[in-house]
């Protein structure tokens, strides 16, 4: 029974829920199904969640907006910092480039100043070298000859080519090549002078390349300049030694040695406007010293060349020397005041030094004679000539023919009687000719 009752209860139809809606006379009812309740519940749940979310958004919106704006502000600040850093870097690079450019321009200006100085020196040195060559210190190649004096035994090479090489390094594309190299970053061995400009890696900055290149160029120029200065000093010493050697010979014959021109000019100065002196650098001082030495050498050399230090009959036999001998006419001892040289009739006779003819024609025992005055109280006589070819007052040179050999006057055969007189007194011509052998290195 209990079992049957339970089955009836279990199998009984569940009571439906009816929703009645009354509005005035109208009455409506709606049966509430389970799925409707579920849908209503879901709708209410979704609405509640949306409401909660909307409420939370409204509550948290200010915080979210503030956080977003803060993040954007930080990003903008970082961006501006980066822009500022980049601008600062650009400014530094620009400033460095301008500084490097200024450094390069300054160094180029210095090189150009050196070039102008070298050009000026080149003209002065050319003049001094020409004077040194004319004075017998250097040959045409610029090297000193090998004189007998030990003081002049060290050769001085020509330094004019060094000046030309240096000038060519600057004017013959050197400066332009340096500027192109600095602009392009090319290695320095691409320039014309590989020995002067060393290789510079392209990783170096313009300033570093400029320092490296100009340092090498400056060192090279300083080396050449020092070599030139040494050679100028050597040439000055050689000129002084040569002048002293000639001066010693002149002093031995009691011939006054010319004073230095600079000293005479200082003594003769009488006035004029005051102007600051020229640059007093070492190189100009060395050039001035060389100029003074050459001036003194030219003076003493000119004096020596005007005196009868040469043999008037080179290669001729001496038939009678200077001094006491037996007179060929009287047979007794007499002074022979000159030297007799063997000559053939009609041979040309030339003077032993330039000078002025002070006697020409028949002169007693000399026969036909020419006397030439050489200055400083020294004269030479050429006697027994068959014919005189000059006249009184003529100026003759070493290569001029003054007469023809003969046997006139007190003569026993054709010969040349050569006589040297100093202050009116006859002296042995051999002394002058021996001195001339010592001076052969210095005079023409």
State the average pLDDT over residues 346-364.
Answer: 94
Q: Choose between 20 and 294: higher pLDDT.
A: 294
Domain regions of the chain by residue span: 110-269+276-305, 318-441
Greatest mean pLDDT range, 145-154, 322-331, 430-439: 430-439
pLDDT at 191: 43
Q: Over the stretch 75-131, which tens digit does the pLDDT of each residue have?
A: 888 888 888 888 888 888 877 777 767 777 777 777 777 767 766 766 677 777 777
Q: How confident is the model at residue 51 (pLDDT cuts 50, 70, 90)?
A: confident
Cα separation, 239 vs 232, whole angstroms: 10
pLDDT at 151: 32
Cα separation, 214 vs 178, whole angstroms: 9
CATH pick for 318-441 out of 3.90.1150.180, 3.40.640.10, 2.70.70.10, 3.30.2350.10: 2.70.70.10
Q: Choose between 320 and 153: higher pLDDT.
A: 320
pLDDT at 10: 52
pLDDT at 236: 86
287 within 8 A of 124, measured Cβ to Cβ: yes
Cα separation, 307 vs 250, whole angstroms: 10
Model pTM score: 0.56
Cα separation, 344 vs 404, whole angstroms: 9
320 within 8 A of 340, measured Cβ to Cβ: yes
- DSSP state string for 345-363: TT-EE--SS-EEEEEEEE-
Cα separation, 129 vs 119, whole angstroms: 15
State the average pLDDT over residues 211-220.
Answer: 73
Greatest mean pLDDT range, 100-104, 117-121, 242-246, 413-417: 413-417
Six token digits for residue 423: 């202050």
pLDDT at 188: 43
Residue 11 has pLDDT above 60, yes or no: no
């Amino acid at each position: 029974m209990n079992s049957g009752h339970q089955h009836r209860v279990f199998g009984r139809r569940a009571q439906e829920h009816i929703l009645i809606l009354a509005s005035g006379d109208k009455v409506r009812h709606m049966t509430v199904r389970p799925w409707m309740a579920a849908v209503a519940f879901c709708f209410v749940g979704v609405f509640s969640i949306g409401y909660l979310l909307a409420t939370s958004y409204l509550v948290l919106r200010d915080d979210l907006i503030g956080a977003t704006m803060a993040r954007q502000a930080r990003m903008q600040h970082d961006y501006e910092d980066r822009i500022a850093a980049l601008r600062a870097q650009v400014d530094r690079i620009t400033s460095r480039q301008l500084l490097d450019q200024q450094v390069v321009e300054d160094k180029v200006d210095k090189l150009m100043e050196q070039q102008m100085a070298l050009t000026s020196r080149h003209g002065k040195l050319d003049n001094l070298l020409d004077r040194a060559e004319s004075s017998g210190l250097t040959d045409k190649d610029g090297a000193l000859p090998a004189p007998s004096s030990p003081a002049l035994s060290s050769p001085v090479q020509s330094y004019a080519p060094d000046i030309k090489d240096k000038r060519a390094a600057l004017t013959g594309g050197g400066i332009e090549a340096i500027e192109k190299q600095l602009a392009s970053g090319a290695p320095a061995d691409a320039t014309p002078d590989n020995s002067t400009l060393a290789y510079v890696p392209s990783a170096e900055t313009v300033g570093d390349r400029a320092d490296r290149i100009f340092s090498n160029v400056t060192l090279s120029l300083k080396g050449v300049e020092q070599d030139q200065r040494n050679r100028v000093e050597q040439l000055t010493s050689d000129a002084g030694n040569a002048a002293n050697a000639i001066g010693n010979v002149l002093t031995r014959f009691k011939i006054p040695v010319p004073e230095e021109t600079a000293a005479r000019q200082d003594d003769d100065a009488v006035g004029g406007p005051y102007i600051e002196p020229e640059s007093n650098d070492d190189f100009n001082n060395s050039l001035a010293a060389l100029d003074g030495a050459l001036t003194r050498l030219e003076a003493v050399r000119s004096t020596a060349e005007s005196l009868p230090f040469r043999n008037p009959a080179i290669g001729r036999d001496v038939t009678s020397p200077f001094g006491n001998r037996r007179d060929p006419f009287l047979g007794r001892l007499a002074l022979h005041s000159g030297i007799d040289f063997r000559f053939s009739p009609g041979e040309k006779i030339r003077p032993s030094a330039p000078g002025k003819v002070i006697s020409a024609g028949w002169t007693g025992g000399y026969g036909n004679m020419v006397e030439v005055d050489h200055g400083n109280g020294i004269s030479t006589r050429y006697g027994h000539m068959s014919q005189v070819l000059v006249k009184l007052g003529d100026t003759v040179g070493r290569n001029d023919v003054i007469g023809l050999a003969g046997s006139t006057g007190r003569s026993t055969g054709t010969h040349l009687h050569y006589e040297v007189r100093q202050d009116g007194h006859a002296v042995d011509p051999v002394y002058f000719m021996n001195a001339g052998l010592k001076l052969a290195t210095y005079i023409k």
